[in-house]
Chain A
Amino acid sequence: DTEVTQTPKHLVMGMTNKKSLKCEQHMGHRAMYWYKQKAKKPPELMFVYSYEKLSINESVPSRFSPECPNSSLLNLHLHALQPEDSALYLCASSQLDNNYGYTFGSGTRLTVV
């Protein structure tokens, strides 16, 4: 299995809602990532997990809360988002420390209304 699977593919949520994005990989990668991507821009790093521990938080607002329950799963919990948080949210995974095989999931298109 060489895929990173993300659910849901599309999500519309109100500013008072709580929702979660899910990501799963079975390539044995011990590094997992959350990115945010706006149109015509490169992916912007949000969080990095190494061996299921949070190793990088790029000063992301607390309304985004990551969680890594095990080596195959990564969640992003969303609460009280703003319309400007609307974007494509991408999960990725890679081999640890050398980034080999850095693979993106298909993404969740999030719209905050």
Chain B
Amino acid sequence: GENVEQHPSTLSVQEGDSAVIKCTYSDSASNYFPWYKQELGKRPQLIIDIRSNVGEKKDQRIAVTLNKTAKHFSLHITETQPEDSAVYFCAAPSWRETSGSRLTFGEGTQLTVNP
């Protein structure tokens, strides 16, 4: 099955700085890589995703890059703001004929943006 590793587990930055979170995956057939932001007591919210036919996707201050050869993908947040403070999860899918599709999550990164 899929194995997803996420680093770092905690990240503290100053407001205005950039933050980068990295994930690696094991299943070379994986083709969809979402990132979720989870604030305390709330649900994981999809903030950006990338499909395997592109190498980079950007949405305002958030970008995701994908290297399929190396099997890693990264979340980049520029000009960080205190409201970016949350736990971020990466995920990768795997599909098995006998059991269908599932999404495997990384362990999460606690991002703290200090004013």
Task: List residues of A whose CB falls within 8 A of some B CB.
Answer: 31, 33, 40-43, 45, 48, 50, 55-56, 90, 94, 96-107, 109
Q: Is the CB of A50 within 8 A of B101?
A: yes
In terms of DSSP, what is the predominant structure of the interface of chain B? strand
In whole angstroms, what is the CA distance A109 to B36 when docked? Answer: 19
Given A40-B87, A98-B93, A102-B91, answer yes or no on A45-B34 (Cβ-Cβ < 8 Å). no
Chain B minimum-CB-distance residue to A99: B93
Binary CB contact string for chain B from 104 to 115 against chain A (1 if under 8 A, 0 otherwise): 011110100000
Chain B minimum-CB-distance residue to A91: B43
How many of B's residues come within 8 Å of A, CB to CB?
27
Task: List residues of B whose CB falls within 8 A of some A CB.
Answer: 31-32, 34, 36, 41-46, 49, 51, 87, 89, 91, 93, 95, 99-103, 105-108, 110
Query: Given the complex, which residues of A lie within 8 Å of B32, measured CB to CB?
Result: 98-100
Query: Given the complex, which residues of A lie within 8 Å of B89, measured CB to CB?
Result: 42-43
In whole angstroms, what is the CA distance A105 to B46 when docked? Answer: 11
